[in-house]
Amino acid sequence: MNRAQKALRIAEQLQALYPQTPVPLDHTDAFTLLCAVMLSAQTTDKKVNEVTPTLFGMAPTSAAMAGCDVADILVAIRVLGLAPTKAKNLRALGQQLVEQHGGEVPQDEESLEALPGVGHKTASVVRAQAFGIPAFPVDTHIHRLAARWGLSSGKNVVQTERDLKALFPEDSWNRLHLQIIFFGREHCPARGHDLAACPICGWAATKKRIREESPRRSA
């Protein structure tokens, strides 16, 4: 089975498993999604969803966020990883959106990535899920599984994104991004994973990955 055939079979399995792909971060619009994705760095989506009701109750718009004290933002998100940096970035984000974009979240990649605290992955998620623009954001689950399944060299997330975009039709990128994340969380832990029992890894994992990830036997 070549790489293209494997990709097609994986896409069919993921579609059967996850026909619906709701965004796991609670949000109401592009601005709240952008903030939630920023907050999710080194933190679980569950934790982010626990703090955003308070945060968005206080600052539901970019203008409101720009007018908040960093200390107040920090209180709202203090349980999250990197909270002090994230609090500063949220206020600066609100200010930049107001000053440079009329308070609206821009859709183009360059403008998004120029915002405080926004990297390529965050920008890609917002473009895909808020605006419906084809993108293939690569998080740790996607990066790991693309390598495990032999869909990418796995050397870095840039290469993984490029490889996946070349393998899958553009109109499937936004859906597959979430489907692979859902599958990774439900079936594929980073460690202690039984590849043989996994519905996709069981047949798609490369021999190299099987050797690397199989439990070592005691001498």
Residue 97: the pLDDT is 98
Angle (CA) 169-176-142 rounded to 5° is 115
Angle (CA) 84-129-134 rounded to 5° is 120
Q: Is residue 25 part of a domain?
A: no
pLDDT in tens, 84-101: 999 999 999 999 999 999
In this structure, are 86 and 149 located in the same domain? no
Q: What letter does residue 198 receive in the DSSP assignment?
A: S
In this structure, are 12 and 42 located in the same domain? no
Q: Is residue 218 part of a domain?
A: no
Quote the CA–CA distance of 144 and 200 in Å, as a whole number.
Answer: 13
Please confirm, yes or no, whether 171 is among the known catalytic residues: no
Quote the CA–CA distance of 80 and 17 in Å, as a whole number.
Answer: 31
**Domain of residue 145, CATH code:** 1.10.1670.10
**Domain of residue 123, CATH code:** 1.10.340.30
In this structure, are 145 and 106 located in the same domain? no
In this structure, are 84 and 171 located in the same domain? no
Q: Is residue 116 part of a domain?
A: yes
Q: To the nearest whole number, what is the mean pLDDT of the chain?
A: 93
In this structure, are 42 and 127 located in the same domain? yes
pLDDT in tens, 145-201: 999 999 998 789 999 999 999 999 999 999 999 999 999 999 988 778 888 889 999
- For 190, the domain range is 3-20+137-213
> Which of 82, 109, 131 is a domain's end point?
131
Q: Which of 6, 86, 121, 163 is catalytic?
A: 121
Residue 209: the pLDDT is 65
Task: Look at the alpha carbons of 2, 3, 6, 12 in this order and tell me if their dihedral is positive or negative.
Answer: negative
Q: Which of 26, 139, 165, 194 is catalytic?
A: 139
In this structure, are 81 and 159 located in the same domain? no
In this structure, are 163 and 197 located in the same domain? yes
Q: What letter does residue 83 receive in the DSSP assignment?
A: H
Please confirm, yes or no, whether 139 is among the known catalytic residues: yes
pLDDT band at 217; cut points 50, 70, 90: very low
Quote the CA–CA distance of 184 and 194 in Å, as a whole number.
Answer: 13
Residue 213: the pLDDT is 67
In this structure, are 105 and 147 located in the same domain? no
Looking at the structure of the chain, the number of domains it has is 2
> Which of 110, 131, 152 is a domain's end point?
131
